[in-house]
Structure 1
Amino acid sequence: MPDTTTIRVSRATHARLTRLAAERHETVDQTVSRAVRALRQDTMGRDLATELTDDERAWLDADAG
């Protein structure tokens, strides 16, 4: 790991992360990275699942030619 920093988590969270990382045969850093990516994907999915606004519908229906 060329560049690192420290984050503060509770001992319980650290224990869960360590256990998850061991179960997945990966480092704690890899597990945290995977979790962050999953949270971002969840947010994107929720955003995509919301109803389109009238402006968004008009933009999508606009003639491209």
Structure 2
Amino acid sequence: MHSTSVRIDQQTHEELKLLAERLHTTVGNTVTLAVRSLRQDVLGAELSQDLRADERAWLDADLG
């Protein structure tokens, strides 16, 4: 797997190590899990917004 470095402050790194320990995984995998969780939160927030007028019109369109 290709990897890269990301600069984070020492406190965040310590928190990542503690989380990784609790999750019985690596720091890298913990970051992967955190990114996935954030992506799901953003998607959930987007899906909870009211539909726009054009989206409502599309959903209400007559298919026949």
Place the TM-score, normalised by the shorter chain, in its bin.
over 0.9
Kindly indicate whether residue 39 of structure 2 is the aligned counterpart of residue 20 of structure 1: no
Kindly indicate whether residue 56 of structure 2 is the aligned counterpart of residue 57 of structure 1: yes
The whole-number CA distance in structure 2 between the counterparts of 1:25 and 1:3 is 22
> Unaligned 5+ residue runs, structure 2?
none
Count of residues in Structure 1 that have an aligned counterpart in Structure 2: 64
Compute the displacement of 1:61 (Å). Answer: 1.0
> Unaligned 5+ residue runs, structure 1?
none
Runs of at least 4 residues off by over 2 Å? none
Residue equivalent to 1:33 = 32
Percent identity over the alignment is 50
Coordinate RMSD, CA, aligned: 0.8
The whole-number CA distance in structure 1 between the counterparts of 2:58 and 2:45 is 21
Compute the displacement of 1:62 (Å). Answer: 1.0
Kindly indicate whether residue 42 of structure 2 is the aligned counterpart of residue 43 of structure 1: yes
